[in-house]
Structure 1
């Protein structure tokens, strides 16, 4: 039973590592993003091939210029673990609310999907990515709709999604600043 528990713990640590990548990119949190990779890692994403720090420097300005916000959602995940080395395949869906085009087309929503193919290593007891290949397998673009429940007064009370540590997800302790509305 202890071998099975270790495998489950390793699998969860690997998934936590992949989640740090997604959260770090979506919140523009460099420290969290880089914590998903060993320092000598290599990432291949679109036209980019290089180190995690260089990937950050390439990706963040691109996302900041093109999108109001984005989500890297992790889906199906498998991991083959052999001692301190693991190979993982993780399906993902990327969803972004794009800035209005200069053509006046307004905001759009981009969706793309694919798979992260990763080799991870456990070093000093911690799983991190050493090699990532990002396979982008589909994409589409559609007009953005107004946000439901996007009342300006509500946003002023509850805050808004942010791409930094001012995002409500970083608040400790988390508190509800909303006043309950009576029907």
Structure 2
């Protein structure tokens, strides 16, 4: 009986020591700041490699933005000579890149770019403040559209995020510097 009681006391002691152990708290990871254009989620699920919805893409310039911007300032980089030039191009106009057969067609300027995923995808501006400036462009080499891919109407250049979906060419770089407000 003494042995049995000793075993019970030993087991109780072991459980009490184990229960008193301090639990280590796992550190909570800090939130990571999202970098890039604002994309508002909707109920439409995203599939792997999904670029556009079946409904296509529509660009909506809100009333508080329409007519408030007249042009954009684009930076053209000659990668061979390592020189850059700044050009002011009116919205809706074209820029012929000097000493090349490239031309840039400038579309809508959105001072606070926002994209919603739905059917169709909607590209718009969250406000008239230049929080996330972007411009829709098409680049042609001769008569062939080289940016964006030929199945898309507009490629977007972002002033704050020039490396997101950039125009890629062996000799020239193209970035958005800023929008030009209408006077």
Give the structure with the larger helix fraction: 1
Higher RCO, 1 vs 2 (CA within 8 Å, ≥6 residues apart): 2
Higher-Rg member (1/2): 2
TM-score (norm 2): 0.28
TM-score (norm 1): 0.28
